Amino acid sequence: EVQLVESGGGLVQPGGSLRLSCVASGFTFRSYEMNWVRQAPGKGLEWVSYISSSGSLIYYADSVKGRFTISRDNAKSSLYLQMNSLGAEDTAVYYCGAGSGNDYWGQGTLVTVSS
């Protein structure tokens, strides 16, 4: 059974940092492209970042470029998102998605940026 489990969310003050993790199981993680997608409360889905299966190709949405860093550890079947300089606009549920088109999703982790 395919499983993606995100963690690392929580309450953080504006300007702060968080590191999200996503642990995968039930499929060959190293063969899959991965994405982070977020959803602000009551809003739609927003693509955040992409990383190729090897980690050699990385893309970011303009809204997070320069502040967020995506990475992966294929030996640990894990995906990460380092988030710096967080603002209220970054408050959202963050999902990891497996596959170029997000074939599989985790249940998400909530990030709340507030003082």
Partner 1 sequence: SYELTQPSSVSVSPGQTARITCSGDILAKKYGRWFQQKPGQAPVVVIYRDSERPSGIPERFSGSSSRTTVTLTISGAQVEDEADYYCFSAADNNRVFGGGTRLTVL
**Which member of 23, 105, 110, 112 binds partner 1 (CB under 8 A)?**
105
Residue for token pair 């320069």: 66
Q: How far apart are CA 92 and CA 47, in angstroms?
A: 12
Considering only the stretches 14-22, 70-78, 84-92, 102-110, report the one whose residues sit in contact with partner 1 under the rule CB under 8 A. 102-110
The answer to whether residue 9 forms part of the interface with partner 1 (CB under 8 A) is no
What is the phi/psi pair of residue 59, to 5°? -130, 155
Residues comprising the chain, all counted: 115
Q: How far apart are CA 38 and CA 35, in angstroms?
A: 10
Residue for token pair 């170029």: 100
**Which member of 45, 53, 67, 110 binds partner 1 (CB under 8 A)?**
45
The answer to whether residue 42 forms part of the interface with partner 1 (CB under 8 A) is no
The answer to whether residue 73 forms part of the interface with partner 1 (CB under 8 A) is no
The answer to whether residue 35 forms part of the interface with partner 1 (CB under 8 A) is yes
